[in-house]
A and B are shown apart, each in its own frame.
Chain A
């Protein structure tokens, strides 16, 4: 089946918008089990059984992450970050009947309490076609600054 590039782009753009606007439930609804939301720490390629990550969320932790952000007591997001991100350089690596793998770059401007930070990186999404769109099975985010001090990464990246 030929991949519909525009549909893939639309999915990635929509995910970006939901993250930028803290639309937690809608973002969570993009996901399907078994989920892996992974942001490595220190370097891009690591063994999660031996090395620490910034985020290594399975399905349970993904629920917990969103529940926490919605609790009203997540002080590091009070006030919330204001964000906009650009998604670009989209490559669709592997096409099969059951799965699509995409790589894309992002540039995120994040503003909170008078301080604006830039985050940049490359994300690999694993998507499963479903009902004319996709479900997110995993995403791995390689931050340019994953070996530098990061003061607050409590928003969705």
Chain B
């Protein structure tokens, strides 16, 4: 079935391969923005980024600039960053604290919940001017799980709970079973961009086949250069970096994960690794809970280095202690933001270790991430070869199994990439009727009554 722009998604994405135009065709990118980012659920930010009343942070939903703000009552609002008068953005700073948002063109001022407050020289408007109709446009649907805020620009569609499905359990583990307010997202951001399609980062983040090659420099240096004497267990882990074991899992709805047990950063963080301790009674309970489920040793490692390795379709990646957000800029340019997290109930020295673990492998000057970005750019460059326009995603197809309603493969299998593509294809092939009606509704939402 051809979609309205003549793209035959059925033939572009096969079970075992994808056509390179999915990374290079600007028309496909525009269609993705419409169908995936402007209609479906996307991750926006975490409550912990705006802990105090008046705190705000600028975000994007697809291409739409959005203000994520906490009002005086603690409620979080997602407001489209555009004055209702003549359309200038009303918030310029990436983050901060404010009592209102003021457009610097003619001075229209909006409250933290988006309502229109002051309008200079009101006498210029007649009786038909309805202040209550002219607040900042709110994102139609906002949902939350453990403080993770997701949004959809479409007023109708699948509920967030159903969309997240099994991925919720991984969010829970990432948060160390903490409640929304116990996850601290106040440690700053690592930001980088690369000259490549956004899906390359999505695929790579859940690729268990590449670490021993792309990250050979880290593995080798770790083995050769740790100057303290490693414990036998750490030595074993260092040697096994090239061949660590686990499963690649397709959780459904495009959410996928790598499930493995591995100490990566502990060798860098001192020997023995610092003890993990809680500083609140609630934290004590959460620690005990994790100890019971995973054993004390594994639980402690999860809290020092991170508890899951999961991609939540289409733009959130939970790896280590970081929330990683993909921001597509164009068909061949992508910005990535990494938000390392702390847990309020962990001892300060353990939270510091979380940051040091993160810095080792992630960020522009780290020992891991920049090598991944380099590969994305090489793949994008390789897409110039059109004579044989396919990328293979067949690894492990012959040995996949179904367990507990999930598709499970070996850690190094492309089960995860296939899971992402299956959801991508499903969404991109959806009928055009919904897209048209959404655009119509969108137009209605910004229409104003004439004065």
Q: A157 — which chain B residues lie within 8 A by C-beta? A: 365
The reply to whether A61 and B360 contact each other, CB–CB distance below 8 Å, is yes
Q: B191 — which chain A residues lie within 8 A by C-beta? A: 148-150
The reply to whether A59 and B373 contact each other, CB–CB distance below 8 Å, is no
The reply to whether A64 and B225 contact each other, CB–CB distance below 8 Å, is yes
Q: How large is the interface on B (under 10, 10 to 19, 20 to 34, 35 or more residues)?
A: 35 or more
Contact of A51 among B187, B194, B220, B370 (CB under 8 A): B187
The reply to whether A49 and B192 contact each other, CB–CB distance below 8 Å, is no
Give the shortest distance, in Å, between A65 (CB) and chain B (any CB): 7
Task: Identify 30 residue pairs between A and B in the complex whose beta-carbon atoms are under 8 Å apart, listed by A's number.
Answer: A41-B189, A43-B188, A48-B352, A49-B351, A50-B187, A50-B342, A50-B352, A51-B186, A51-B187, A51-B188, A52-B190, A52-B358, A52-B359, A53-B355, A54-B363, A55-B359, A56-B355, A60-B227, A64-B222, A64-B367, A65-B367, A68-B218, A69-B217, A72-B217, A73-B216, A75-B374, A75-B375, A150-B191, A150-B192, A152-B192
Q: How many A-B residue pairs have CB under 8 A?
A: 123
Give the B-binding residues of A (Cβ under 8 A): 39, 41-43, 46, 48-56, 59-61, 63-65, 67-69, 71-76, 78, 113, 147-154, 157
Contact with A along B187-223 (1 / 0, CB 8 A): 1111111100000000000000000001011101110
- State in angstroms the CA–CA spacing of A64 and B375 once bound together: 22
Contact of A49 among B216, B221, B348 (CB under 8 A): B348
- State in angstroms the CA–CA spacing of A56 and B190 once bound together: 13
The reply to whether A151 and B192 contact each other, CB–CB distance below 8 Å, is yes
Give the A-binding residues of B (Cβ under 8 A): 94, 186-194, 214, 216-218, 220-222, 224-228, 268, 335, 340, 342, 348-349, 351-352, 355-356, 358-360, 363-365, 367, 370-371, 373-375, 377
The reply to whether A68 and B373 contact each other, CB–CB distance below 8 Å, is no
The reply to whether B335 and A149 contact each other, CB–CB distance below 8 Å, is yes
The reply to whether A154 and B370 contact each other, CB–CB distance below 8 Å, is yes
The reply to whether A54 and B217 contact each other, CB–CB distance below 8 Å, is no
- State in angstroms the CA–CA spacing of A59 and B188 once bound together: 24
Q: B214 — which chain A residues lie within 8 A by C-beta? A: 75
The reply to whether B225 and A151 contact each other, CB–CB distance below 8 Å, is no
Contact of A150 among B358, B364, B367, B371 (CB under 8 A): B364
Task: Pick the most buried of B188, B228, B355: most chain A CB atoms within 10 A of its CB.
Answer: B188
The reply to whether A46 and B224 contact each other, CB–CB distance below 8 Å, is no
Across the interface, name the chain A residue whose C-beta is closest to B227: A60
Q: B190 — which chain A residues lie within 8 A by C-beta? A: 41, 52, 54
- State in angstroms the CA–CA spacing of A74 and B374 once bound together: 10
